[in-house]
Amino acid sequence: MVTSIGMIPILRIGPTLLATISVELRDAVADAFQAAVLTAIEKEGSTGLVIDISALEIVDSYVARILAETGRMARLMGTETVLVGMRPEVAATLVRMGYAMEGVRTALELEDGLALLGHVVPKKKA
């Protein structure tokens, strides 16, 4: 583990950081998360960042803004960001609010997100 903010671990997988958010992001926690991710990118020299939000049932406009800003900030530091695990309700809410996740790529599952960043992901056995 590279670091963690409360219940949000930030793990290193090769050149990529993985942050799995499984707690509700209140303002202070979201701000601390963003700072921790950017510090971890600087320390680790990561070229990829995957943010897993599959455990989040609600993403309000503030959290959406923090996630999008984190992706844009990471890109300025040379790190591509992929947001994974967005629930259909969350996607619908963001679209209805007119919020675009500009600068952040998305994928349904973690394996797909890692593949977008160039990781070889073993195929699932049937």
- Residue 104 · residue 98 · CB < 8 Å: no
- List the alpha helices (DSSP H) in 49-109: 61-76, 88-96
When mean pLDDT is compared across 1-5, 10-14, 71-75, the lowest value belongs to 1-5
* pLDDT classification of 45: cutoffs 50, 70, 90: very high
Q: Say yes or no to pLDDT of 121 above 90.
A: no
Give percent of the chain with pLDDT exceeding 70. Answer: 90
pLDDT of residue 4: 62
Instruction: Give tens-digit pLDDT for 64-119.
Output: 888 999 999 999 999 999 999 999 988 888 888 887 777 789 999 999 999 999 87
Contacts for 125 with CB less than 8 Å, ≥ 6 apart: none
What is the pTM for the complete model shown? 0.87
And the tokens for 93? Answer: 């809410």
Average pLDDT, the chain: 87
pLDDT of residue 42: 95
Residue 120 and residue 62: Cα distance in Å, rounded? 33
* pLDDT classification of 124: cutoffs 50, 70, 90: low
More confident residue, 119 or 40: 40
Q: If you ran DSSP here, which 8-state letter would residue 59 be given?
A: -
Q: What domains appear along the chain, each with residue ranges and CATH number? A: 3-116 (3.30.750.24)
Spell 36-51 as b/e; 16+ CB within 10 A means b: bbbebbeebebbbbbb
Residue 93 and residue 61: Cα distance in Å, rounded? 9
